[in-house]
Amino acid sequence: MKVYDRAVVADVLKKGIKQLSLELSEAQVEQLLDYLALLNKWNSVYNLTSVRDPLEMVKLHLLDSLAAVAAFAGAANVLDVGAGGGLPGMVLAISRPDMKVAMIDTVHKKTAFLNQVKAELVLGNVTVYTKKVQELEVKTKFDVITSRAFADLSDFVNWSGHLLAEGGQFIALKGTAPAEERERLPAPWKVQKLEPLQVPGLDAERHLVFIKEETV
C-alpha cells in the first residue's frame, strides 16, 4: 500500500472535477477522498484493484467514473453490475445523493468493502447485493443499469435485462467499445449512442455505450 497523501490527492481530484465542469460541494469532495482512502487501505488485504498508487487511483478510478456522471442526469434508480470496489457505483452515489444506487457483485469481500464504505460515509442512497445479477429480483426495476469493464455487452444485457424498467437504458463504461461486441447484441437491444469520454490526466480511450430496446 502506497502512502496516501490526502493533500496531493485532493489537489489532483479538484483540478479534474473542475476540468469535467462538475459542481460538487466541498463535502462531496471530502467523501470522494474518504472513499479513496478506504479503497487504498482495504486494497492491501482484499486486492480490490490492481492499481496501487493513490494518485493513479484518482485518475484511473475516481476521475474515470466522474467523467460518466453527466450521462446519468435523468436517472433516479441505478444498478451497477459487477461493482467490484464500487466503480462507478460509489462515485455516482456520492456525486448524486438524490439518486438511488444499488451495487451487485458475487465476491463477498468486495461487497463487504462496499458495505463498509456505505456505513463510514453514511450513504443512505446505497444498496449492496452479494449474488449473481441473473438471480437478483427487485420490487422496483432500475431506469439505468451500468457496468464498468464488466463483461461482453451481450452477456451484460442478457444477465441483467430482467431488472431494467420499461423505457430504461443500459450505460456501459468501456475502453474501446469494439464494433463486433456491439453487433452481437441480441434483439431487441440496440446501441443508441457511443460517446467518447475525456478523462482528465488520462491518455487512453474511454467510451460510454448507451443501449436501449429497439421499438418497432
Reply yes or no on whether the pLDDT at 157 is more than 80. Answer: yes
Q: Is 133 annotated as a binding residue?
A: yes
Domain boundaries, the chain: 6-213
C-alpha–C-alpha distance, residues 51 and 70, integer Å: 25
Pick the CATH number of 6-213 from 3.40.50.880, 2.40.10.120, 1.10.287.130, 3.40.50.150: 3.40.50.150
The rounded percent of the chain whose pLDDT value lies above 90 is 80
In terms of C-beta distances under 8 Å and separation of at least 24 residues, what long-range contacts does 11-15 make, across chains too?
12/55, 12/58, 12/59, 12/201, 13/58, 13/62, 13/63, 15/200
pLDDT tens, position by position, 54-88: 888 999 999 999 999 999 999 999 999 999 999 99
CA 113-118-120 angle, 5° bins: 90
The overall pTM is greater than 0.85: yes
Residues near 95 by beta carbon (within 8 Å), at least 6 away in sequence? 22, 24, 28, 66, 69
The number of C-alpha atoms within 13 Å of 13 and in the hemisphere containing its C-beta is 29
Q: Is 22 annotated as a binding residue?
A: no
Instruction: Please report where in the chains the cell 460541494 appears, as a residue.
Output: 25
Q: Is 52 annotated as a binding residue?
A: no
Reply yes or no on whether the pLDDT at 1 is more than 60. Answer: no
